[in-house]
Amino acid sequence: MNVAFLIYRRPDLTRQVFAEIAKARPARLLVVADGPRNEEERSLCERTREVVQHVDWPCEVRRNYSESNLGCKVRVSSGLDWVFQEVDEAIILEDDCLPHPTFFRFCEELLDRYREDPRIGHVGGSNSLQDLHSTRYSYSFSRFTHIWGWATWKRVWQEYDVNMTLWPDVRADGMARNLFASDELARLYEEHWAGTYSGEVDTWDYQWQFCRLVHGSLAVVPAVNLVSNIGCGSDATHVIDPDNPRAGLPARAMTFPLHHPPYTVCDDAADEAFAKRFVFRRNRPVVRLARRLKNRHFYGGLVRRIPIAGDLWTRWRKRRSLRTETTA
């Protein structure tokens, strides 16, 4: 079992998640860390890295650490590029995604089952709907790629493009409307992808969602929530609202042996329920404005629109992205 662990500056959360990884005793542990933005963060980053130094089970440990801050988009995408240069498949956890012990077995079994199946590109560990939508199988299939604990294969990650170079063609041809079950959801994601492509949004996961949809593969969603996000709050990168309805949902046990669906078809009803409860709620105009004003990347997007200053800002970000130090 290969586990990729993405860490940054939150030693207490990292310690909780690492304890669960230690219980699972993966054969390989690949640690990806971003660097500090300032001297105040340097100590936090060092303490966070110290947590994962203590591996007390037989394990091959590999590390990819940046000494400068690359930001969410560059650090996660470059870190996972490195992970899939090292291994052919991996279970991926961020420092605030606390898994139930059965999460690891669930991912392992489905990585094995769908290893050569191009219809499946993502094995998710979270189910935010909980009891609001049920299935009689151990999991269902979705167009959404939930990233709070997940797994995939090198064959799939090779399709990933952090710069979304296909987006202009998809937009020009009106193909985004064919990627979702409803026009309303397609319009919303067109906005997300346009902002991501332009650089206004500093993230990596909208690109992953886009990649899976344009390449025509589905994501697995477990019947029960297997991962609890314990990091929503002021020190989070994106989900800064502790009252977010998806924050802190308890993780539950998966029952084995798994009861596999006899078909590979997207559960549109579940996707619609998820969109109504979580996606559209967080995209109401007032909620979106508040989230933007609280997000430091919004101000970077404004700077990039200013002549000369925007060009200098872009060059500076590119120089930072190249200053990555890798420790094997």
pLDDT given for residue 305 in this prediction: 63
pLDDT given for residue 283 in this prediction: 53
**Backbone φ/ψ region at 267: left (φ over 0), alpha (ψ -120 to 50), beta:** beta
For helices 183-198 and 205-214, give the axis angle rounded to 10 degrees: 130
For residues 21 and 23, give the distance between their C-alpha atoms in angstroms, rounded to a whole number: 5
pLDDT given for residue 296 in this prediction: 53
Alpha-carbon distances, residue 60 vs 26, 177, 328 (angstroms): 9, 45, 11
Question: What are 277's two structure tokens?
Answer: 């409860």
* pTM of the shown model: 0.82
Domains along the sequence of the chain with CATH: 1-95 (3.40.50), 96-283 (3.90.550)
Question: pLDDT digit of tens for each residue in the chain (328 aa)?
Answer: 999 999 999 999 999 999 999 999 999 999 999 999 999 899 999 999 999 999 999 999 999 999 999 999 999 999 999 999 999 999 999 999 999 999 999 999 999 999 999 999 999 999 999 777 788 999 999 999 999 999 999 999 999 999 999 999 999 999 988 998 888 889 999 999 999 999 889 999 999 999 999 999 999 999 999 999 998 654 444 444 555 666 779 999 999 999 999 999 999 999 998 888 888 765 545 444 444 554 555 555 565 567 777 667 666 665 654 554 444 4
pLDDT given for residue 278 in this prediction: 81
For residues 52 and 55, give the distance between their C-alpha atoms in angstroms, rounded to a whole number: 7
pLDDT given for residue 126 in this prediction: 95
pLDDT given for residue 234 in this prediction: 47
Token pair 């939508």 is found at 133
Asked, as a colleague might, if the bond just before 257 is cis with ω within 30 of 0, I would say yes
For 195, residues 6+ apart whose C-beta sits below 8 A from its C-beta are 201, 301
pLDDT given for residue 133 in this prediction: 78
pLDDT given for residue 236 in this prediction: 45
Amino acid sitting at position 32: V
What is the three-state SS of the chain?
CEEEEEECCCHHHHHHHHHHHHHHCCCEEEEEECCCCCHHHHHHHHHHHHHCCCCCCCCEEEEEECCCCCHHHHHHHHHHHHHHHHCCEEEEEECCEEECCHHHHHHHHHHHHCCCCCCEEEEECCCCCHHHCCCCCCEEEECCCCCCCEEEEHHHHCCCCCCCCCHHHHHHCCHHHHCCCCHHHHHHHHHHHHHHHHCCCCCCHHHHHHHHHHCCCEEEEECCCCEEECCCCCCCCCCCCCCCCCCCCCCCCCCCCCCCCCCCCECHHHHHHHHHHHHCHHHCHHHHHHHHHHCHHHHHHHHHCCCCHHHHHHHHHHHHHHCCCCCC
